[in-house]
Every structure is written in structure tokens, then in C-alpha cells.
Amino acid sequence: MIQMVGIQLFENDPRTSLEQKVNAAQELHRKKVGLDAKICLVSEKNAESVDFAQLSKVCGLVVKPTRLLPVHHLWIGEEKEMQETQV
């Protein structure tokens, strides 16, 4: 089973590009957690006509759209494999 560990952010400044928002989220994650994030999910409502392969390459982490986040929200962190416990 996969566990998502990270930070959810709200960013609605229309003057800030998605690339800038992802980079700022990466910097915040680095400050708070002490590690670089591996993945950033963005609301698909804010991601129309975005080249995610290019954005991921420029930002240095996987950036993907999701319908699970509200408009103007980003989630940044990493996916971790959960260890199964026996009862």
C-alpha cells in the first residue's frame, strides 16, 4: 500500500506561473521537512494546457494534475511504501 506524505498549499495569485508555484512549494517542503519532494500534484482545474512532462523536467520532480485537489491547491511530498503489519 502507498502512503502519501507531504504538504498541501493554497496559491491563487494569478500573476504567478504554475512553474513558480511548484518551485515555491518545493522550497517550502525543503525548509519544513529537510528533504526535496519527489512529486507535486496540482488541481486539474488550474492545469489546462500545461505540458507536465516539460514542467516536471524544469522543476526537477514529477508534476501531475489531479481532480482530488480543490482549485488553486497544490500537494507536494513523496509516496512511501507502507509496511504491512501482522495482527
**DSSP state, 48?**
T
In the structure, what pLDDT confidence band is assigned to residue 22 with cuts at 50, 70 and 90? very high
pLDDT in tens, 28-78: 999 999 989 999 999 999 888 899 999 999 999 999 999 999 999 999 998
* pTM, two decimal places: 0.85
Cβ–Cβ < 8 Å for 17, 80: no
Check pLDDT > 90 for residue 1: no
| Segments making up each domain of the chain, as ranges | 2-80
Look up residue 29 and give its three cell numbers.
517542503
